[in-house]
């Protein structure tokens, strides 16, 4: 990949801060750095706690999407799931109402400071709203140890789970929990074990998952993520990393280019923001997203502009990650 000069990136960078309707994975305001390249707008938004080595892959993805043509799509719209943060059961219906027409819901579980009974109540509330024909998947973000995952999956299986995403942190634990719960017929999906791993194919080799979750930014871009899916030989679900509508368009480009796509994708997360950079934002309508580039609204870019100190922080991070890509060659 030919890298644009850092001066070119800095000249087209816009840093935004988007407030969220509900706290999600500890985040109440989502920050992102947007870039305008020859192919269109793109996004660089690794979470603030990620180090530069990890964040550099996100920059590679942003540059690829903004400066290079993308793989040809094989579909024009993407079915998406609703995303339910670790809210109280009583708040579930209001969250789901933000996701127009979605018949699949992903529910966060294993939240720090909460219990299995909290998870059971939340997932049961989602099932009640979705009805028997709705699809309900859960995501633990690696928050359970092996015995906790075993116990939780057994407790939640009666709610007819589509799959359990990253119940444990390690590949070995995923393989063991998959073995322990196989009789329940609940598939195991790997997310962090693919996205954050130095060897994203280790999950497939270990037989640790039935499907993989892929995200365009942390995997270095659409083309590289497609290569990982092909090499893994497992069904894939494309998800977001709490992106703005610009980043969600990158995720939709990945989902659109997959030869097979059997699951709804986690690309409806702009519905969790109270404002976005695009008008209208890239949120599900009738349970689907269109595939295509997204242009930000100039007034919304100004309204969402981050504070001067946060802009400086992101521009410094951009420079460090660019230097890491240059050094890597």
CATH architecture assignment, domain 6-70+299-328: 2-Layer Sandwich (3.30)
| Residue 243 is assigned to a ligand binding site | no
| Identified catalytic residue from 106, 182, 196, 215 | 215
Angle between helices 222-232 and 245-257 (to 10 degrees): 40
Residue 73 contacts by C-beta under 8 Å, 6 or more apart in sequence?
253, 256, 257, 291
Q: For position 291, what pLDDT does the model report?
A: 98
Q: For position 42, what pLDDT does the model report?
A: 98
CA distance linking residue 84 with residue 98, whole number of Å = 10
pLDDT, one tens digit per residue, over 85-111 is: 999 999 999 999 999 999 999 999 999
What is the mean predicted confidence (pLDDT) over 272-276?
96
Cα separations in angstroms, 120 against 26, 43, 123, 190: 21, 36, 5, 21
Is 196 a catalytic site residue? Answer: no
| Residue 165 is assigned to a ligand binding site | yes
pLDDT, one tens digit per residue, over 303-317 is: 999 999 999 999 999
CA distance linking residue 48 with residue 321, whole number of Å = 13
Q: For position 25, what pLDDT does the model report?
A: 79
Structure tokens at 176: 């063991």
Exposure string of 126-144, with b = 16+ CB inside 10 Å and e = fewer, is bbebbeeebbbbbbbbbbb
CA distance linking residue 215 with residue 251, whole number of Å = 7
Q: For position 163, what pLDDT does the model report?
A: 98
Q: For position 329, what pLDDT does the model report?
A: 78
Three-state secondary structure call for residue 3: coil
Q: How many CB atoms lie within 10 A of CB 226?
A: 19
Are 177 and 188 within 8 A, CB to CB?
yes
Q: For position 313, what pLDDT does the model report?
A: 98
Comparing 252 with 195, the larger pLDDT belongs to 252
DSSP track, 193-255: HHHS-SSTTHHHHTT--SEEEE-TTTTTSHHHHHHHHHHHTS-EEEB-SS--HHHHHHHHHHH
CA distance linking residue 103 with residue 80, whole number of Å = 8
Beta strand residue intervals within 208-324, DSSP E: 211-214, 236-238, 288-290
Is beta strand 288-290 parallel, antiparallel or unpaired with respect to 77-79?
antiparallel
**CATH code for 77-296?**
3.20.20.120
Angle (CA) 76 204 264, round 5°:
25
Instruction: Give the percent of the chain with pLDDT over 90.
Output: 95
Q: Is the pLDDT of residue 198 over 90?
A: no
Which residues, in sequence order, are bridge partners of residue 80? 265
Instruction: Give the percent of the chain with pLDDT over 70.
Output: 100
Q: Is the pLDDT of residue 244 over 90?
A: yes
Q: For position 4, what pLDDT does the model report?
A: 98
Q: Is the pLDDT of residue 187 over 80?
A: yes
The closest alpha carbon to 174, from 188, 161, 186, belongs to 188
| Identified catalytic residue from 106, 108, 182, 196 | 108
What is the mean predicted confidence (pLDDT) over 262-279?
97
- Torsion over CA of 199, 82, 267 and 58, rounded to 10 degrees? -50
pLDDT, one tens digit per residue, over 50-80 is: 999 999 999 999 999 999 999 999 999 999 9
- Where in the chain are all domains bearing CATH 3.20.20.120? 77-296
Secondary element (H or E) of residue 234 = none
| Residue 191 is assigned to a ligand binding site | yes
- Where in the chain are all domains bearing CATH 3.30.390.10? 6-70+299-328
Q: For position 22, what pLDDT does the model report?
A: 85
Three-state secondary structure call for residue 49: coil
Structure tokens at 298: 């100039």
CA distance linking residue 21 with residue 50, whole number of Å = 23
pLDDT, one tens digit per residue, over 17-60 is: 999 998 887 899 999 999 999 999 999 999 999 999 999 999 99
Q: Is the pLDDT of residue 1 over 80?
A: no
Cα separations in angstroms, 138 against 2, 73, 86, 217, 259: 39, 28, 11, 22, 25
CA distance linking residue 26 with residue 110, whole number of Å = 13
The closest alpha carbon to 140, from 170, 160, 103, 101, belongs to 170
pLDDT, one tens digit per residue, over 121-146 is: 999 999 999 999 999 999 999 999 99
Largest Cα–Cα distance of the chain, in whole Å? 56
What is the mean predicted confidence (pLDDT) over 1-6?
91
């Amino acid at each position: 990949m030919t890298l644009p000069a850092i001066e070119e990136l800095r000249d087209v960078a816009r840093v935004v801060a988007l407030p969220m309707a509900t706290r999600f994975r500890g985040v109440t305001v989502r920050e992102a750095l947007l870039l305008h390249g020859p192919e269109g707008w793109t996004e660089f938004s690794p979470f603030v706690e990620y180090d530069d080595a990890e964040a550099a892959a996100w920059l590679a993805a942003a540059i690829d999407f903004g400066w290079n043509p993308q793989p040809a799509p094989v579909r024009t719209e993407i079915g998406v799931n609703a995303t339910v943060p670790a809210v109280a059961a009583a708040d579930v219906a209001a969250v789901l109402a933000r996701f127009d027409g979605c018949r699949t819901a992903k529910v966060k579980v294993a939240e720090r400071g909460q219990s299995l009974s909290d998870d059971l109540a939340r997932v049961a509330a989602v099932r009640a709203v979705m009805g028997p024909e709705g699809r309900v998947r859960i995501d633990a973000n690696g928050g359970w140890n092996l015995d906790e995952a075993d116990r939780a999956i057994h407790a939640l299986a009666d709610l007819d789970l589509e799959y359990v995403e990253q119940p444990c942190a390690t590949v070995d634990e995923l393989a063991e929990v998959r073995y322990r719960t196989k009789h329940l017929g609940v598939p195991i999906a790997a997310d962090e074990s693919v996205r954050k791993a130095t060897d994203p194919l280790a999950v497939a080799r270990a037989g640790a998952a039935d499907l993989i979750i892929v995200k365009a930014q942390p995997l270095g871009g659409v083309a590289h993520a497609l290569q990982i899916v092909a090499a893994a030989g497992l069904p894939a679900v494309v998800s977001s990393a709490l992106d703005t509508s610009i980043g969600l368009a990158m995720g939709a480009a990945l989902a659109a280019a997959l030869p097979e796509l059997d699951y709804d994708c986690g690309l409806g997360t702009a519905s969790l923001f109270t404002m976005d950079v695009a008008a209208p934002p890239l949120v599900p309508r009738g349970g689907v997203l269109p595939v295509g580039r997204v242009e930000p609204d100039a007034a919304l870019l100004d309204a969402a502009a981050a504070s001067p100190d946060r802009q400086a922080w992101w521009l410094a991070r951009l420079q460090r990650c660019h230097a890491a890509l240059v050094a890597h060659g």
